[in-house]
A and B are shown apart, each in its own frame.
Chain A
Amino acid sequence: MLEIDHLEVSYGSIRALHGISLKVPEKSIVTLIGGNGAGKSTTLRSISGLIKVRAGNVRYDGQDITNKPAHEIVARGLCHVPEGRMVFANLTVMENLHMGAYLRKDRAGIASDIEYAFTIFPRLKERISQLAGTLSGGEQQMLAIARALMSKPRCLMLDEPSLGIAPILVRSIFDQIVAINKERGLTILLVEQNANLALSISHYGYVLETGSVLIEDTAEALRKDPQVRAAYLGG
């Protein structure tokens, strides 16, 4: 469904990605793991159109979307929940959800999707008219995911949903990610530092190191791989 081929990205003169290729099949969960600065976020940002790609290409649904502007890529059903969440702190929870549905016109559908968001993240419902900036980090993450779902994506890219969140909340957010994948059939590309947890819910994984793919395999195989265990799974 999502395929990237020999992607190269630079920040000024610094090369961040050295020709990364990966595939995300429809309805699967694929994880990118790797240390700080490996290029995980850069990969997602170049797919979603936030940064320009220098070489290589991105295909989604069989169409070339390389270097298309971000707002056009969302319109195709590919939504990116960025690292650090980026909820609109100056907008209420409800307004944030409506921003997620910015490109939609079906009022009834939007209303029912807001209800769906509240069933997966009931805490958001209690804070519906609160400014998003006053939510806790975990709640902001829930809002960021819920907001992305409002665009009715078929593929969701999540950048470190566990970052800075208490373990118990992380568990529940991950349960919801699995549920979204199973119940709604969403394809998910997940970036995580918490490799153990990410691989436990994924079908396939890629290990990135300094802008290149080091290893790729099924999630199960990666979890058994001695090299991956030593470097990313804490032995």
Chain B
Amino acid sequence: MEWFLQQLINGLALGSIYALIALGYTMVYGVLRFINFAHSDVLMLGAFSAYYVAPAIEKVLPLPSVLGALVIILISTLICAGIGMLIEFLAYRPLRNRPKLTVLITAIGVSLFIEFTCQHKSVFGADTKPFPQLLPATDFHVLGLIISSNDLLVVFITAILLTALWFIVQRTKMGTAMRAVSFNQQAAALMGVNINKIISFTFGLGSALAAIAGILYALKAPGIEPLMGVQPGLRAFVAAVLGGIGNLPGAALGGLLLGLLETFAGGISGLSNYRDGIAFAILILILLFKPAGLLGKATIEKV
């Protein structure tokens, strides 16, 4: 029982991070119908933004502290939202009417470009850097469980962000326009929607979430390096597909599920080396029975 609860908490924390990243994949897929492979690098850039912003903030605010951490997260988020929008503007917008495969290959190119540029010693360098302690970390011992304050924070922040995102998408004009654009761009344009603005906004929003996820991931990781986004990015992409690509609640659900699967498989002694194998085998099984993903539906169009 204790073991179970412990794994549950660890899994939720990991899954929350996957969920935040998966939302970005699924949102971009929703409006442009392609997988933005550079998304995982925005996550890495989020962690590096925080890494470089932190010393500057430390001169003004004490670190580790909640306020200091919030300011750093906010600044890094804005930087990454800008980077995400820039990637769309420079790399994807010129290819808007090209075949999706062209855009997909471009996305892979952008991803590799960012990763290897950042590895150069005049940029970040390829070595692993220790991530600064942004928050006062303590472990709570409750009912024999060890709950780290970071894990609680990850789950808490994710819950707030998911709610905020739900509100934006379901209740604001911008969100309604996003859903309209994802259904039919031409019809949305005929309503007076500036498609480019909506797509830009979508990239900004997804990248902001990725940046936060990147920082949260870095807090749990031993350190940061330019390829750190690849592993969680790939898992989050799988999570988005698992939930039903293009479906926002699906991405969140897929992320949590994948985090839990991975943690539980890893927690069984003797099996921990096979944790990815087990997690992905279960995924394949789910997709065999629900090819459109857990919450994805085969769309029906009336003519």
Q: B186 contacts which chain A residues (CB < 8 A)? A: 50, 70, 82, 86
B187 touches A82 (CB 8 A): yes
Interface residues of B in 160-214 (CB under 8 A from A): 173, 176-177, 179-180, 182-184, 186-195
Nearest neighbor of A105 in chain B, beta-carbon distance: B173
A79 touches B190 (CB 8 A): yes
CB proximity of B102 to chain A, nearest CB, Å: 17
Known contacts being A99-B180, A102-B177, is A89 close to B302, with CB within 8 Å?
yes
B192 touches A89 (CB 8 A): no
A102 touches B173 (CB 8 A): yes
A80 touches B303 (CB 8 A): no
Interface residues of A in 67-91 (CB under 8 A from B): 69-71, 74-75, 79-80, 82, 84, 86-91
Could you mark each residue 107-133 of chain A with 1 if its beta carbon is under 8 Å from any beta carbon of chain B, else 0?
A: 000000000000000000000000001
CB proximity of B4 to chain A, nearest CB, Å: 38
Q: How far is the CA of A69 from the CA of B189 in the complex (A)?
A: 8
Q: A86 contacts which chain B residues (CB < 8 A)? A: 184, 186-187, 190
- Whether B2 is near chain A, meaning CB under 8 Å from some CB there, is no
A99 touches B302 (CB 8 A): no
- Whether A57 is near chain B, meaning CB under 8 Å from some CB there, is no
- Whether A103 is near chain B, meaning CB under 8 Å from some CB there, is yes
B179 touches A50 (CB 8 A): no
Known contacts being A88-B184, A133-B302, A137-B302, is A82 close to B190, with CB within 8 Å?
yes
A88 touches B192 (CB 8 A): no
Q: B301 contacts which chain A residues (CB < 8 A)? A: 89, 133
Nearest neighbor of B194 in chain A, beta-carbon distance: A71
Partner of B192, one of A95, A103, A133, A137: A103
Q: B285 contacts which chain A residues (CB < 8 A)? A: none
Q: A164 contacts which chain B residues (CB < 8 A)? A: 303
Interface residues of A in 17-52 (CB under 8 A from B): 48-50
CB proximity of A48 to chain B, nearest CB, Å: 6
- Whether B90 is near chain A, meaning CB under 8 Å from some CB there, is no
- Whether A147 is near chain B, meaning CB under 8 Å from some CB there, is yes
- Whether B288 is near chain A, meaning CB under 8 Å from some CB there, is no
- Whether B101 is near chain A, meaning CB under 8 Å from some CB there, is no
Q: A80 contacts which chain B residues (CB < 8 A)? A: 190
Q: How far is the CA of A82 from the CA of B303 in the complex (A)?
A: 12
Nearest neighbor of A133 in chain B, beta-carbon distance: B302
B187 touches A74 (CB 8 A): no
A71 touches B302 (CB 8 A): no
Known contacts being A137-B302, A164-B303, is A99 close to B177, with CB within 8 Å?
yes
Could you mark each residue 130-164 of chain A with 1 if its beta carbon is under 8 Å from any beta carbon of chain B, else 0?
A: 00010101001000000110010000000000001
- Whether B300 is near chain A, meaning CB under 8 Å from some CB there, is yes
Partner of A71, one of B179, B183, B184, B195: B195
CB proximity of A153 to chain B, nearest CB, Å: 10
Nearest neighbor of A50 in chain B, beta-carbon distance: B186
Q: B188 contacts which chain A residues (CB < 8 A)? A: 88, 99
CB proximity of B200 to chain A, nearest CB, Å: 14
- Whether A100 is near chain B, meaning CB under 8 Å from some CB there, is yes
CB proximity of A80 to chain B, nearest CB, Å: 5
Q: How far is the CA of A90 from the CA of B246 in the complex (A)?
A: 12
Interface residues of B in 245-303 (CB under 8 A from A): 299-303
CB proximity of B17 to chain A, nearest CB, Å: 28
Q: Max chain A CB contacts within 10 Å: which of B186, B299, B303? A: B186
Known contacts being A86-B184, A88-B179, A95-B176, is A102 close to B191, with CB within 8 Å?
yes
A70 touches B189 (CB 8 A): yes
Q: A100 contacts which chain B residues (CB < 8 A)? A: 191
- Whether A6 is near chain B, meaning CB under 8 Å from some CB there, is no
- Whether A98 is near chain B, meaning CB under 8 Å from some CB there, is yes
CB proximity of B245 to chain A, nearest CB, Å: 15
Q: How far is the CA of A100 from the CA of B188 in the complex (A)?
A: 9
Partner of A91, one of B180, B189, B194: B180
CB proximity of B96 to chain A, nearest CB, Å: 13
A140 touches B302 (CB 8 A): yes
CB proximity of A100 to chain B, nearest CB, Å: 6
**Can you list 24 A-B contacts with CB-CB less than 8 angstroms, sorted by A residue number?**
A48-B190, A50-B189, A69-B189, A70-B186, A70-B189, A71-B193, A71-B194, A74-B191, A79-B190, A87-B187, A88-B179, A91-B176, A91-B179, A91-B183, A95-B179, A99-B176, A99-B177, A99-B180, A99-B191, A103-B192, A133-B301, A137-B303, A147-B191, A164-B303
What are the 6 tightest A-B residue pairs by CB atom distance, in nearest-first order?
A: A86-B187, A70-B189, A103-B192, A74-B192, A102-B191, A102-B192
Q: Which residues of B contact A (CB under 8 A)?
A: 173, 176-177, 179-180, 182-184, 186-195, 299-303
* Inter-chain pairs besides A71-B191, A88-B188, 6 sampled, C-beta below 8 Å: A50-B186, A86-B187, A88-B179, A91-B183, A95-B179, A103-B191
